[in-house]
Chain A
């Protein structure tokens, strides 16, 4: 069943020397080199070998489907996409996901025969479905719900008990399976075999007793297993991490970039109020197609918990300070040590391009000639998506430093400079460092100004700590390992006293008497980033689609607030954060 490969393109009609007697030769194609057909009366001109379902999509006809996925092989087992085609033998309905286009064919998707078939298929698929939408996380983005409302709308006629299968079965660390909700479209099986190259899922038993399962003793532990949750059209495969955290229709979505590695996978950042709930891959043919790794899916956790929300001056039992006061303190100390030539700057490649452009400009104004590169240590790597460099913006840091005329040095050289006594003061933008011992070294510096978003060891070592907002709370750009610049958009305003990195650098620069009065990330890029070699990158994102279909509304179109209980909003928000953090 799932072994079938995508049908190869039919050979272009070669002129035969002597046409045999019989049916008359087909008329010449209307558009040479292409196939012309009509779909619901609309003329479609497509390449030979195109599937009917794709041709229909091109002319704006939506054919319902479950098992078909454009990046997987064709299985044609759900039978939801059956349409009438004028060239089918005996007038039988054809699966639009498997049939290829042919010259002059008329495809009809709205006839009573097709409608009857769609209703019958849905009744069959829903025959043993438990209809437990109230406890199903897929509710709201479920194809069974959508298609039932569009094509079925009839009560079940089942006159006997429904089949009982296993529910809430943990398949692996990230995925929970409910076999009763499964329609056996085998998208997950095909994904694991063809895309993840880890055939860990299969269909066991036969007929109505078939079910999706892993092999005995082998959990679904591929590094890409989270994608089966996204491609499952029903609620059979759900994310264990997101399980019961919230209803999807309360979530809003922002276009963002994964910060897990230097690949820079495009993601949907789903948020409510000021918490991120999940990351889903966003389609981008050049980078991640529509997949992402499980590690990337967990990178939002530090944005919700253990945040630096207030500025602090002094180490140990120092008390929180107002941000303006802390910035003034930081500027004074930086200026003092820069004048003595004892200042070093440590920039993290986890910060956005705008943060780093602003930071490099301020560093230049302080008279520095080199910057040290921090960031997370290298991790695992594979040949699909994940890169060893777990920092999203190393190329961006190199570009920004080069544009400001600053030399880039490794963190080992910083340790040496501190040991030699050349650097006695440090200014860090971003608190991630590759070596675990760095925090102890920084804790002995007389001046350590740190812009951090998470309460980690490096942030605790700071003498002046400035609260920096993480990715969902600011606009920005990441430049991935291949030099491709990609924008991410702000989902919600910065929490507490925190401000984006570029804003903190602008405040520092102003306190130092520099002309750094930027008011937005866009202004920073326009002022400093225009000369960067970013290809045909344009900073402004196209306006988000307002369509509320299967994915939540784009950022800013709904208020994204939690229903009810707003008097105690802070208390509630704290609870939600604790839950999402897990």
Chain B
């Protein structure tokens, strides 16, 4: 047999009397009732940090956060100058098993990425929330880290999210980003320098793009990895 059957233990005399157990159950319910009735609810909006034993969450005014790694609503990750990181390479649209991503590319002047999505539409009704688009993206330009599920709408068209609706959330820059490495005439030089300062350093694993950045060293990366005992 592939699983183990646990037999209920036979009821003892007190349980067979029935009444004491009923009284005990009513007591548990009454305890919760009086506690919720008289004790102050902790108003902390971050419900995970609440001190009181009140467990009821007043949905939808209060929402329990989804765990990290939850694949929520998509977002197009912005650069610090407000443009999308996306370069319209169609990798997400290619890998999408539900064919829910529609992209139209266009040329952009004054930026080494040359190409940007003139239109980027995701049909959230068609999406199967597999996260392949996030995996396929070579530029970390699409993420599902919003921690929201798709909001309900009255129409189907409301579930078609275009590039304006999708472009939101915290901006991200990496030191190897072409617009930081090579400069972009379309971006104000001061702003560009600020973006360079705030750019994220190299991730632990070396990628080919990293080697295009001045100061990059494979040997240094290897030494660091050795130090970590990797």
Whether, in the assembled complex, A249 has its beta carbon less than 8 Å from a beta carbon of chain B, the answer is yes
Interface segment, B15-23, B90-98, B191-199?
Answer: B90-98
Query: Which residue of the partner chain, among B100, B178, B209, B211, contacts A564 with CB atoms under 8 Å?
Result: B100
Contact A563 B94 (CB under 8 A): yes
Q: Which residues of A contact B206 (CB under 8 A)?
A: 155
- Name A161-175 residues within 8 Å CB distance of B: 161-162, 164, 167-168
Q: Which residues of A contact B209 (CB under 8 A)?
A: 131
Contact A244 B99 (CB under 8 A): no
Main secondary structure of the interface of B (DSSP, over half): mixed
Whether, in the assembled complex, B156 has its beta carbon less than 8 Å from a beta carbon of chain A, the answer is yes
Contact A563 B99 (CB under 8 A): yes
Q: Which residues of B contact A155 (CB under 8 A)?
A: 206, 208
Name A178's closest neighbour in chain B (CB-CB).
B114
Contact B121 A565 (CB under 8 A): yes
- Name B118-168 residues within 8 Å CB distance of A: 119, 121-123, 126, 138-139, 156-157, 160
Q: Which residues of B contact A162 (CB under 8 A)?
A: 211-212
Contact B87 A563 (CB under 8 A): no
Contact A575 B104 (CB under 8 A): yes
Q: Which 6 A-B pairs have the closest CB atoms?
A: A134-B89, A565-B102, A564-B102, A135-B115, A563-B93, A244-B105
Whether, in the assembled complex, B77 has its beta carbon less than 8 Å from a beta carbon of chain A, the answer is no
Contact B208 A167 (CB under 8 A): no
Measured as residues with beta carbon below 8 angstroms from the partner, the interface class of chain A is: 20 to 34
Q: Which residues of B contact A135 (CB under 8 A)?
A: 87-89, 113-115
Q: Which residues of A contact B94 (CB under 8 A)?
A: 247, 249-250, 563
Q: Which residues of B contact A139 (CB under 8 A)?
A: 89
- Name B68-91 residues within 8 Å CB distance of A: 87-91
A134 with B139, Cβ < 8 A, contacts A563-B94, A563-B102 known: yes
Q: Which residues of A contact B99 (CB under 8 A)?
A: 563-564, 566
Q: B-side interface residues toward A, CB under 8 Å?
A: 87-91, 93-94, 96, 99-107, 112-115, 119, 121-123, 126, 138-139, 156-157, 160, 178, 182, 206, 208-209, 211-214, 216-219
Whether, in the assembled complex, A568 has its beta carbon less than 8 Å from a beta carbon of chain B, the answer is yes
A564 with B96, Cβ < 8 A, contacts A156-B208, A575-B104 known: yes
Q: In the complex, A131 Cα to B96 Cα: how many Å?
A: 23
Q: Which residues of A contact B214 (CB under 8 A)?
A: 161
Contact B101 A134 (CB under 8 A): no
Q: In the complex, A471 Cα to B148 Cα: how many Å?
A: 50
Whether, in the assembled complex, A69 has its beta carbon less than 8 Å from a beta carbon of chain B, the answer is no
- Name A154-190 residues within 8 Å CB distance of B: 155-159, 161-162, 164, 167-168
Main secondary structure of the interface of A (DSSP, over half): loop
Q: In the complex, A164 Cα to B217 Cα: how many Å?
A: 18
Q: List 19 A-B contacts (CB under 8 A).
A: A135-B88, A135-B113, A135-B114, A156-B208, A158-B211, A161-B214, A167-B112, A167-B114, A244-B107, A244-B115, A245-B105, A250-B90, A563-B90, A563-B94, A563-B99, A564-B99, A564-B100, A565-B160, A567-B157
Name B206's closest neighbour in chain A (CB-CB).
A155
Name A130's closest neighbour in chain B (CB-CB).
B212
A244 with B106, Cβ < 8 A, contacts A563-B101, A566-B99 known: yes
Q: In the complex, A168 Cα to B115 Cα: how many Å?
A: 11
Q: In the complex, A532 Cα to B219 Cα: how many Å?
A: 74
Name A572's closest neighbour in chain B (CB-CB).
B102
Q: In the complex, A572 Cα to B162 Cα: how many Å?
A: 13
Q: Which residues of B contact A133 (CB under 8 A)?
A: 89, 138
Contact A134 B93 (CB under 8 A): no
Q: Which residues of A contact B156 (CB under 8 A)?
A: 567
Most interface-central of B91, B94, B115 (chain A CB within 10 A): B115
Whether, in the assembled complex, A579 has its beta carbon less than 8 Å from a beta carbon of chain B, the answer is yes
Name B207's closest neighbour in chain A (CB-CB).
A155
Q: Which residues of A contact B157 (CB under 8 A)?
A: 567
Q: In the complex, A249 Cα to B89 Cα: how many Å?
A: 12
Q: Which residues of B contact A156 (CB under 8 A)?
A: 208, 211
